[in-house]
Amino acid sequence: MTEHAYLDAVTGFVLGTLGADEERQLLDHLAEGCSICEEAQSRLEPTRYALAASAPPRTPPPELKRRVLAAVRRQPQEPGQAAPPGASSRVTPLPARPNRLAWAMAAVLVIAVGTLSIASWRLRVQRENLREQLAAAEQALQDERSSHQADLASRDEYLDLLLDPGAVCVDFDRTPDAPTNLRGKATYDPATRRAVIALDNATLPASQAYELWAIRGGTPVSLGVIGRAGDGTATVYLRDVGSLVDLGALAVSLEPAGGSPQSTPTGPVVLVASLGG
């Protein structure tokens, strides 16, 4: 039985119209601790008493009274038992039966109220879900906007450095291990220590990456993996790579995806750029 069928069964359970198998399935389901069906049952339970009180009393027809009196007259008296005074003419009226039409209308009303309550509850749940989805979408949009603004700011910094008349531009030299079409350029500003490293034809499989190294006193220091674009270009912006006195050269090595697992290159060095010292 689906969740929707269980909710419909709750209405039948409150009205007492479920079959034995359906009632047993619903009771087993409630025993497992379904808060949704328990809430629906709690909402519908008061309607059971409203249904019982909704049928108006009805005066029995005269024909019923005559049949009852005739049956009493035909019933023999026990020996020694005297008939009470006025028994032949006064009979206690039987309880009036509810009007079947009134019962049916009340049942329809209860089912309608229950259905509307469940529908209202479902709409409330859907509204909350939509509200959460909207909040998540707004957060994702805000994150995307922040990332886009950060990319624009970085691009402005790249352009500012590339157009700086005091910047030094050096081409990378390819080593024998470099692919034949791989090219690189380093633009460095001694005053601000900023640098832009740009590679062309840096296409690699997903299992590999290019890593940038600063060579200081003959010791390589990782400056991070160089991110790649889909067109094979790769660019990294460095806000402080040190002074030319300390920074003798830059190198690019071919490493596993994520970079070298050690503090030194583990793959072949493919590009080298001498900056000074």
* Domain presence at residue 147: no
> Which CATH number fits the domain that encloses residue 207?
2.60.40
pLDDT of residue 219: 86
* Domain presence at residue 153: no
81, 114, 133: which is the final residue of a domain? 133
Q: Find, among 193, 163, 52, the residue nearest to 110 by Cα.
A: 52
* Secondary structure letter of residue 75 according to DSSP: S
Structure tokens at 108: 């329809």
Q: Which of 1-10, 94-103, 234-243 has the lowest mean pLDDT?
A: 94-103
82, 117, 133: which is the final residue of a domain? 133
45 and 124 belong to one structural domain: yes
Read off the pLDDT of residues 43-92 as tens digits, 9 standing for 90 and up: 777 766 666 666 566 666 777 667 777 776 765 555 555 555 554 444 44
177 and 112 belong to one structural domain: no
Average pLDDT of the chain to the nearest whole number: 75
Q: Find the length of the chain.
A: 277
76, 106, 133: which is the final residue of a domain? 133
Read off the pLDDT of residues 71-81 as tens digits, 9 standing for 90 and up: 767 655 555 55
Element (H, E) at 43: helix 35-54
173 and 251 belong to one structural domain: yes
Q: Find, among 166, 150, 175, 178, the residue nearest to 237 by Cα.
A: 150
* Residue numbers of the domain that contains 255: 168-274
Q: In terms of C-beta density within 10 A (0-12 exposed, 13-18 middle, 19 or more buried), how is residue 163 classed?
A: exposed
Read off the pLDDT of residues 129-173 as tens digits, 9 standing for 90 and up: 777 877 787 787 777 777 666 666 666 766 777 777 878 888 999
Strand order across the 194-200 sheet: 168-171, 183-189, 194-200, 234-238
* Domain presence at residue 183: yes
80: left (phi over 0), alpha (psi -120 to 50) or beta: left
* Domain presence at residue 152: no
How many domains, in total, are found in the chain?
2
129 and 175 belong to one structural domain: no
* Secondary structure letter of residue 228 according to DSSP: B
Q: How many Cα atoms within 13 Å fall on the side-chain side of residue 178?
A: 21
* Domain presence at residue 257: yes
28 and 128 belong to one structural domain: yes
* Domain presence at residue 156: no
7 and 128 belong to one structural domain: yes
38 and 125 belong to one structural domain: yes
106 and 175 belong to one structural domain: no
Q: Find, among 183, 193, 170, the residue nearest to 271 by Cα.
A: 183
Percent of the chain at pLDDT > 90 equals: 12
* Secondary structure letter of residue 77 according to DSSP: P
118 and 25 belong to one structural domain: yes
* Domain presence at residue 155: no
129 and 8 belong to one structural domain: yes
122 and 224 belong to one structural domain: no
Q: β-strands 194-200, 269-274: how paired? A: unpaired
* Domain presence at residue 103: yes
120 and 37 belong to one structural domain: yes
Decide if pLDDT at 122 tops 80. no
Whole-model pTM?
0.45
Structure tokens at 141: 């949009």
Helix, strand, coil abundance in the chain, percent, nearest 5: 45, 20, 35
Read off the pLDDT of residues 222-258 as tens digits, 9 standing for 90 and up: 988 887 766 788 888 887 776 554 667 889 999 998 8
Question: Whole-angstrom Cα distance, residue 65 to residue 211?
Answer: 105
